[in-house]
Amino acid sequence: MLRYAFKRLISLLISLVVASVVIFAVIEVAPGDPASFMLGVNAQEDTLAALRAELGLDVSNAQRYLDWVGGMLVGDFGTSYTYRTPVSQMIADRMWVSLPLALYALILSTLIAFPAGIYAAARRGKPGDLTVMGATQLGIAVPNFWFAMMLVLIFAINLRWFNAGGFAGWNKGLWAGLHSLTLPAIALALPQAAILARVMRSSLLDILGEDFMRTARAKGLTYRQALWRHGVRNALIPVLTILGLQFSFLLAGAIIIEQVFYLPGLGRLVFQAISARDLIVVESVVMLLVFAVITVNFLVDLAYAAVDPRLRSRT
Amino acid sequence: MTLLQIENLSLSIHGAEILKQVSLDIAPGQIVAVTGESGSGKSMTALAVMQLLPNGAVADGAIRLQGQDLLNRPEAELCALRGAATGMVFQEPMTALNPVKTIGDQVMETILIHKAMPRAQARARAQEVLTRVGLPPDRFPLSRYPHELSGGQRQRVVIAMAIALRPKLLIADEPTTALDVTTQAQILDLLKGLVREYDMGLLMITHDLAVVANMADRIAVMRQGEVVESGATGDLLRDMQHPYTRMLFAASGHQVTLPLSPPPRPLLEVAQVVRTYRLPRKGLFGKPDHHRAVDRVSFTLNRGERLGLVGESGCGKSTLTRAILGLDDVQGGSVQLDGQPVFTGHRPNPAVRRKMQVVFQDPYGSFNPRHRVARLITEPFHLLDAPPTGSERQDRIAEMLTAVGLGPDDAGKYIHEFSGGQRQRIAIARALIIRPELILFDEAVSALDVSVRAQILDLLADLCAAYDLTYLFISHDLSVVRTITDRVMVMQAGQIVEQGETGQIFSDPQHPYTRALIEAAPTLPETGMNVA
């Protein structure tokens, strides 16, 4: 198990290095000069040169890459071209919204999807299954911003249980923060839960057809017992894969939901940075997301091994 | 008193009739074998006794276990009986165990689900049972996972789960079909011993008549959902009443006469072939070990000769086959066909490739279901520089389909319209269509029912006469190899331990492994010949 974990860790580090090179190459080598963009078309040549020097754009690409990576390792992501504030501070502020939101949505989606998927699989072809499958079909088809608007309409405007938007901040206490993230988290979670429930169901149905399920029944287990003791854990493997992918998406893919609820999250930050050609911010956020995705995949790999003993020994 | 009484059991699944008026009795300590070809309803009979029938099954008649009818019993009562009063062993030990649970947990589960007791006590019981089936905990700790065991060992675990509570009735559905002959002999001995020791009734489902004849006290022969004949083993073997029973036994021991092979002229020359696989590294920076799947194998296959290759799973048969076909490069030695290397440098040699064709085991998986037969069997044409076109192509297709016992009209059909035996004929037509110098049959008749297998063997013998075939016949089934080859090689752990004239090897094996193989293969007593 330790060797397996160590091997996964090595591959994680390699992925990070490769990703950083690719991101740097794509963004920095892309045409367009941030300095001339900031100063406008009429800028003087010497002003431009001074700004380039200030931004560290006047050295070789390799040197800039090393500076960038070295800086990130000590938490220095550079200075935003547009806002002239440290990028690390900007990201940290947004992270405190986006990360809890992603986790919140992921937990909600799991809480909805697992029971729904298992319930549907256990009642394959019966009304319960058809109802769940119909609901998930709807959940996949309907875009999440529409859910978001409906939630706002019902729970914020009519019932007045929640605020229609904005983020209260964590300094007013955990409850206030969670409260303002609840509607966005639900809106994000519903389509994800629909996908996850379908994966859970089909994965479990595959397992239910396996020989060892029949063996379990031949031992005297009831259908339910066999399902829970032998089915669910085996069915988790494909579900974990989807779960890992979803987390990465939730972290950065929430831009529309952030917009609907006026949340100061990472998605909006990237969006603004791209429009303003604030490459250093884009680069840093992308790198951070890559880091998150790779880390989540690493955790999913470890979870595989926890679930499936065959992976532990096959190093 | 009878232990199990099946009376006029009829069964239909979604309206399709599966069993018709099946009647069977089993007494304590008695082994009753149900035999028949695929689709005869023998497995459904077993599942009906366990009441583990698929959805949509409607049963009629009676299944009485110690006088109590099992049909129409509430599910809760059936759950209490399964595993406690009746145990079941399945065909495929590789998939019958849950891969994510330890063998100890899985055996303990049978005990704990029926009897409330502390886990420590259940663990001790599980240890006893596993020891009884030949997996003592000092060598096979309860913490082992199924993937750490061989097929035979897994089957022992399945048996341990089934007998943990000493059920009165044990049902075994093809318990040794997936195992090698030597393992099969051990498992059959184990089952026999358990029946005697626990005074259990054993309902054994198997298609293998040699196993039936050696194991069973009584035999029931099934065909298309009906028991066509049943009786005490000795009586039934002496005096078969039903023509189907006679046909089954005749087909099991079916012999063919091959035309004489021409004077030896080498075609395939395999010299000192070594094929190794890299194993995972031992330490983080340790050198990886290598596994020699094929270890310095040398042999010559002459033109017009029919050569057999036998050995148990994992002996390297398939690896050697792949090396001969040029699918894998070898790490040492050479493979030459007609004096030309199969591999030139590290690339397969197309000039040699077009002289070889192969027929695989699985008649279901080896065809693209979306292509018509004409396209399927002409696939090897792409190996030719100038493949036949137009009417010449049509003639070749018609000729081949006729040669393998099908009609030219079949060219326009899809593969799902054919039975397993017919598909294997199509596979042979596909191999034959470019008139290869050498054909490899890789377990080509192993998946077929005995009667179909007999027909395919006849077909091969006919084709040998018509087309002067040269082939390498790879099989684990000694009886088939015995009749369909001139010479045979025995492979063990990557090496050829013995080779010679087929008749000679079977009547006077020299190597201890060959002897063990032949000895372990069950024989059909009635005809007095080895059947394997």
- What's the gap in Å between the CA of B279 and the closest CA on chain A? 10
Q: At which residue do the structure tokens 């007999």 appear?
A: B454
Residues of A in contact with B110 (CB under 8 A): 219-220
Contact criterion met (CB below 8 Å) for A204 and A231? yes
What are the structural domains, with CATH classification, of chain A?
95-272+291-313 (1.10.3720.10)
Closest CA to A182 of A160, A159, A163, A195: A163
pLDDT value at residue A109? 93
The pLDDT value recorded for residue A31 is 63
Burial of residue A73 (number of CB atoms within 10 Å: 0-12, 13-18, 19+): exposed
H/E stretch holding A294 reads helix A279-307
- Which of A211, A218, A310 minimises the CB distance to B50? A218
Interface of A with B (CB under 8 A): 3, 6, 210-212, 214-222, 225, 229-230, 233-234, 307-310, 313-315
Say what the pLDDT of residue B398 is: 92
Give the gap in angstroms from C-alpha A212 to the nearest C-alpha of chain B: 4
Helices and strands counted in chain B (H then E): 18, 24
Closest chain B residue to A221, measured at CA: B79
Dihedral over Cα of A143, A147, A152, A158: its sign: positive
Backbone angles phi, psi at B315, to 5 degrees: -80, -10
Q: Are A191 and A137 in contact (CB under 8 A)?
A: no
Interface residues of B toward A, Cβ cutoff 8 Å, are: 50, 52, 75-76, 79-84, 87-88, 90, 92, 95-101, 109-110, 113-114, 145, 147-148, 158, 161-162, 280, 284
Any bridge partners for residue B6, and if so which? B24, B63
Structure confidence by residue, pLDDT tens digits, B273-307 = 999 888 776 665 667 778 888 999 999 999 989 99
Please give the pLDDT value at position A314: 52
Q: Write out chain A residues lying below 8 Å of B145, CB-based.
A: 309-310, 313
At residue B530, the pLDDT reads: 38
The DSSP letter of residue B414 is: B
A6 → chain B, closest CA residue: B284
Does an H or E element contain A266, and which?
A: helix A266-275
Give B94-132 as a DSSP string. TTSS-TTS-HHHHHHHHHHHHS---HHHHHHHHHHHHHH
What residue of A is the nearest CA neighbor of B110?
Answer: A219
pLDDT at B260: 84
A238 Cα to chain B: minimum distance (Å): 15
**pLDDT tens-digit series, residues B462-516:** 999 888 889 999 998 888 899 999 999 999 988 999 999 999 999 999 999 999 9
Residue B213 has a CB neighbour count (10 Å cut-off) of 24
Which of B79, B100, B145 lies nearest to residue A220, judging by beta carbons?
B79
Residue B10 CA to residue B12 CA, distance in Å, equals: 7
Give the one of A218, A234, A310 whose C-beta lies nearest to B52's C-beta.
A218
Q: Name the residue of chain B whose CA is nearest to A7's CA.
A: B284
Residue type, B113: I
Q: What is the DSSP letter of B485?
A: -
Residue B528 pLDDT = 37
- For residue B532, the model assigns a pLDDT of 36
Who among A220, A230, A309 is closest to B84 (CB)?
A220
- Residue A214 tokens, joined: 């029949």
Token output for B195: 């029946």
Q: Which residues of A touch B162 (CB under 8 A)?
A: 218-219
Cα→Cα distances B530→B37, B207, B219, B441, B499, Å: 20, 16, 20, 22, 19
8 Å CB contact of B87 and A315: no
- Secondary structure class of B161 (helix, strand, coil): helix
H or E, element range at B218: strand B218-223
pLDDT in tens, chain A (315 residues): 777 888 888 888 998 899 888 888 887 766 666 677 667 767 777 877 887 777 677 777 788 888 888 888 888 887 787 777 888 888 888 888 888 888 999 999 999 999 999 999 988 888 989 999 999 999 989 888 888 888 888 888 888 788 777 777 777 777 788 888 888 889 889 999 999 999 999 999 999 888 899 999 999 999 889 999 999 888 988 898 888 888 878 876 677 888 888 888 888 888 888 888 787 888 888 888 888 888 888 888 888 888 888 887 654
- Among chain B residues, the shortest Cα distance to A225 is held by B113
Domain extents in chain B = 4-252, 269-355+438-530, 363-436
Would you say B50 and B171 are in contact if contact means Cβ atoms under 8 Å apart? Answer: yes
Tell if the CB–CB gap between A222 and B110 is shorter than 8 Å. Answer: no
Single-letter code of the amino acid located at A85: T
Residue ranges, chain B, pLDDT below 70? 1, 281-286, 525-532
Please report the pLDDT score of residue B287 as a whole number. Answer: 72
Q: Do A218 and B83 touch (CB under 8 A)?
A: yes
Q: What is the pLDDT of residue B375?
A: 92
B325 to chain A nearest CA, in Å?
30
Interface test with A, best of B75, B77, B100 (most A CBs within 10 A): B100
* Helix ranges (DSSP H) in B17-150: 42-50, 75-81, 103-114, 119-132
User: Which among A4, A9, A219, A304 is the top mutation candidate for probing chain B, defined by the most B β-carbons within 10 Å of its own β-carbon?
Assistant: A219
pTM recorded for the entire structure? 0.82
Distance of CA B193 to the CA centre of its chain: 24
Contacts with A310 from chain B: Cβ below 8 Å:
99, 145, 147
Query: Would you say A196 and A108 are in contact if contact means Cβ atoms under 8 Å apart?
Result: no
What pLDDT, on the 0 to 100 scale, is given for residue B281? 67
Residue B263's CB is within 10 A of a number of other CB atoms, namely 8
Closest among A167, A162, A157 to A183, alpha carbons compared: A162
Q: Tell me the CA distances in angstroms from B42 to A109, B46, B223, B246, one per residue in order.
A: 46, 7, 9, 18
Q: Most B CBs within 10 Å: which of A215, A239, A314, as the mutation test of the B interface?
A: A215
d(CA A148, CA B429): 63
Nearest to B280 among A229, A307, A315 (CB): A315
Q: Which fold has domain B4-252?
A: Rossmann fold (3.40.50)
Q: How far apart are CA B220 and CA B33, in angstroms?
A: 6
Instruction: Decide if B70 contacts B64 (C-beta within 8 A).
Output: yes
Residues 6+ apart with CB under 8 A from B160: B107, B126, B129, B130, B132, B133, B135
Topology annotation, domain B269-355+438-530:
Rossmann fold (3.40.50)
The tokens for B199 are 């005074």
CB B377 within 8 A of CB B363: no
One-letter amino acid at A124 equals R
Q: B475: which 2 tokens? A: 């099989």
Number of alpha carbons in the 13 Å side-chain half-sphere of residue A45: 0
Are A34 and A52 a contacting pair, CB within 8 Å? no
Rounded CA gap, A84 and A34, in Å?
13
Asked whether A111 and A189 are in contact (CB, 8 A), the reply is no
Could you tell me if B255 and B299 are in contact, meaning their C-beta atoms sit under 8 angstroms apart?
no
CB of A90 closer than 8 Å to CB of A281: yes
Contact A230 B76 (CB under 8 A): no
Cβ partners under 8 Å of residue B142, min gap 6: B102, B103, B104, B105, B107, B108, B123, B126, B127, B130
Report chain B residues whose CB lies below 8 A from the CB of A309. Answer: 99-100, 145, 147
> Looking at this predicted complex, what is its ipTM?
0.81
Identify whether the C-beta of residue B33 lies closer than 8 Å to the C-beta of residue B206.
Answer: yes
Q: Which residue of A has its CA nearest to B75?
A: A222
Answer yes or no: do B90 and A214 touch at CB < 8 A.
yes
Give the helix ranges, DSSP H, for B240-377: 243-252, 317-325, 350-353, 373-377
Q: Is the dihedral of CA A6, A11, A17, A20 positive or negative?
A: negative
SS3 B207: coil
Fold match between domain B4-252 and domain B269-355+438-530: yes
Residue of chain B minimizing CA distance to A3: B284
| Contact residues on chain B for A234, CB-CB shorter than 8 A | 98-100
Between chain A and chain B, the number of residue pairs with CB atoms below 8 A apart is 80
Helix (H, G, I), strand (E, B) or coil at B369: coil
Of A212, A229, A309, the CB nearest to B96: A212
- How far does B34 lie from chain A, in Å, by closest CA? 19
